[in-house]
Amino acid sequence: PVLRVTRRGPEALHFVPAALEPGAEVLLSLDWERRFDHMQQHSGQHLITAIAEQMFGFKTTSWELGRQRSLIELDTPSVTAEQVEALERSVNEKIRDRVPVTVRELEADDPEIETVRSRGLPDDHVGPVRIVDIEGIDSNMCCGTHVSNLSDLQVIKLLGTEKGKKNKTNLVFLAGNRVLKSIEQSHSTEKALTSLLKNGPGEHVEAVRRLQSSVKLLQKNNLNLLRDIAVLIARDFKSKPAPRQLFVLHRKEGDSEFMNIIANEIGTEETLLFLTVGDEKEAGLFLLAGPVEAVENLGPRVAELLGGKGAGKRGRFQGKASKMSRRGEVQALLEEFISHRSP
């Protein structure tokens, strides 16, 4: 594998995992699928850049070849949906026109270089200057790999814009086989949603909205029930004829508010409370509440036993735990502490 390639003057440096003997012959195997994908995206970028400048005066300041989608940074604070649509229509017309793409080399002092779109030559440049021409559309100084005809791009899809750096706009695009892969992925997602939602693709959005509304209502009802349960648990504890010095409770369904309601209802001036919610053997939340001095002493030790982190103030120490299976060890620690505490 070639880890990366960089340029130093006139040479291309290839970085490989192990040293090669000087003068040894090597067989280079090209990943053509990856190379052709890069050619489609790069030539697509040249075409989009040229047409965007011709149609709207938007200059390209940089671009990024991503693994799944690519970005062109345009020197404009905004691009309208109508401009994106017109730009997409125009670049695809050029693809259907089967415009040739050619590569030529000029000497560094050739005056024609001044007419070519460029961000300038590197300081250590040596030898001829490489120009990529899209016939009648664009001439650009470039050292990248490109298709030989715009028809090789197949199609370009502009996915819209994103906010870029200050006063810049990022234009997101796919070219060639990436468009086909995107359609295939979208179709698979559409089929899966049709099966899950039991309706046609045109009704998916409305079906999801209804589900979201139902989930919000259920979550609200569940939260209210948990609050009621927390109050009842606390009242049941307080109704016992002989108050206990330690109260331990675990509930799989619950959250921090659930635990704090119990602590508020019971009161923590005399009673030490160890409350946990979440998975019984894996991760969850914990709350240690009680007399301030006891909590300050025991809180960090409880967090350590549970494999978690927490913080506390005014008689409460709470946080996240990764080892809820060690709740029994925490309870034993608290019982030992209470047994040695003076009345």
Question: Residue type for 83, please?
Answer: Q
Cβ-proximal residues to 45 (8 Å cutoff; 6+ apart), any chain: 60, 63, 65, 70, 72, 173
Q: Tell me which CATH code domain 32-119+127-185 carries.
A: 3.30.980.10
- What was the pLDDT predicted at 342? 54
The angle formed by the CA atoms of residues 143, 145 and 149, to the nearest 5 degrees, is 120
CA angle 144, 180, 2 (to 5 degrees): 40
Question: Which CATH architecture does the domain made up of 219-340 adopt?
Answer: Roll (3.10)
pLDDT per residue of the chain (343 residues) written in tens, 0 to 9: 999 999 888 888 999 999 999 999 989 899 999 999 999 999 999 999 999 999 999 999 999 999 999 999 999 999 999 999 999 999 999 999 999 999 999 998 888 888 888 877 888 888 889 999 999 999 999 989 999 999 999 999 999 999 999 999 999 999 999 999 999 999 999 999 999 999 999 999 999 999 999 999 998 998 899 889 989 988 888 888 876 788 999 998 888 899 999 999 888 788 899 999 998 888 999 999 999 889 998 999 999 999 998 998 889 999 999 999 999 999 999 999 988 765 5
Give span(s): CATH 3.30.980.10, the chain.
32-119+127-185
> CATH 3.10.310.40 occupies which residues in the chain?
219-340
Q: Which two tokens stand for residue 144?
A: 């990248």
Q: Is 254 left (phi over 0), alpha (psi -120 to 50) or beta?
A: left
Beta-bridged to residue 317, according to DSSP, are 288, 312
Handedness of CA 67, 68, 74, 77 (dihedral sign): negative
Show the DSSP H helices in the chain as ranges.
32-56, 81-96, 177-197, 204-238, 256-266, 292-305, 327-340
